[in-house]
Structure 1
Amino acid sequence: MADANLLQLNAELSLQLADYWHEIDFNGGRDASSYYVEEAEFHGQFASYIGVAKIQQFYDWRRDRGERLSVHGFTNFRARFTGEDSAEASNFLFLYARDGVRPLPSHEPVTISLATDRYVRRDGRWLCTYRRFEHLFESDVPVTNPDLDADK
């Protein structure tokens, strides 16, 4: 049987992840950076963003492209302590997304990924230090992973 601290960790981190994806899906990620530490790493299948400013730049870029509807759903959430104030979690992420406004035609998920996150607790709040998506399934709908350094 899991102990109370592990159950609390799983409840806190899964609720925070649900809040994060709600922020992305319904606010376009305007406040995405508030979920990360300054030096966070975000690794997608096709692009990586290092530092909270670059992560926020990704969400700003995606929002600036125009209307996009997305639903990030997750299941099989599992978290464990890696230290007194650190943890790691994994889940399966189902991404439904297309450019345009709702309602859009239904389709299979754009991706189904194994997501791995690492967290630290600072000032009583868990913040993400590392997020990685490994695609297990992909559809024919393109993902949005720009090279934010291409202009340089």
Structure 2
Amino acid sequence: MNNTPALLALRYELESLTIDFWHEVDINGGGRAAGYYTDDAVFESSVREYRGRAAIEAFYARRRERGARISLHVVNNFRIEQDSDTRVRCQYILSLFATDGVPVLPSKPAIMLALVEEVVLKQADGSWRYESRRVRPQFRDDTPTTG
């Protein structure tokens, strides 16, 4: 296990990016979510695959058009594997609490527990963008997801 200060700083930076992304989805319905991806990114939800930033943008627009929905995406066990200075693979457990409606709603267990695998690329300006995100459900109930 290589836990050098530089690697730990990178892990923290990418974990923060992931948390900021899911916060955008939960708080703003994903209005700026597509901006976290590269132009040709692949987002594989628990239901289907979206290719390209425009398709990802359209997915979140459709999600907002459906009406009120509450979601909380909780990230745990965040890990990284650095392929190069500009390419990193991330993996974590995602607990999804979500349903249609407005708060306050009855509390229930997470509707899905998933293993998420991401590839993140460093851009020329020093920022990181997702080249791919794959949500692989491990457990789920019968509550529909919007993916």
Q: Is the 8 A contact 1:41 1:50 kept in 2?
A: yes
Partners of 1:7 and 1:93 in 2: how far apart? 21
Question: Which residue of structure 1 aligns with residue 63 of structure 2?
Answer: 62
Q: Is the 8 A contact 1:108 1:139 kept in 2?
A: no
Partners of 2:34 and 2:114 in 1: how far apart? 22
Partners of 2:21 and 2:45 in 1: how far apart? 16
**Structure-1-length-normalised TM-score:** 0.93
Q: CA deviation at 1:29?
A: 0.4
Q: CA deviation at 1:110?
A: 1.1
Alignment deviations for residues 49-76 of structure 1 (CA, whole Å, 9 cap, x no partner): 0001101111110000000000000100
Identity of aligned residues (%): 37
Partners of 2:136 and 2:121 in 1: how far apart? 22
Question: Which residue of structure 2 aligns with residue 133 of structure 1?
Answer: 135
Partners of 1:110 and 1:56 in 2: how far apart? 24
Question: Which residue of structure 1 aligns with residue 108 of structure 2?
Answer: 107
1:19-58 → structure 2 map (5 Å cutoff): 19-58=20-59
Unaligned runs of 5+ in 1: 146-152
Partners of 1:8 and 1:126 in 2: how far apart? 14
Q: CA deviation at 1:45?
A: 2.6
**Structure-2-length-normalised TM-score:** 0.96
Task: Tell me how many residue pairs correspond in the alignment.
Answer: 145
Partners of 1:7 and 1:88 in 2: how far apart? 14
Alignment deviations for residues 3-33 of structure 1 (CA, whole Å, 9 cap, x no partner): 1221011100011111111100000100001
Question: Which residue of structure 2 aligns with residue 75 of structure 1?
Answer: 76
Unaligned runs of 5+ in 2: none
Amino acid at match of 1:48: E
Q: CA deviation at 1:46?
A: 1.9
Q: Secondary structure at the match of 1:83?
A: coil
Partners of 2:68 and 2:87 in 1: how far apart? 36
Question: Which residue of structure 2 aligns with residue 120 of structure 1?
Answer: 121
Partners of 1:20 and 1:98 in 2: how far apart? 19
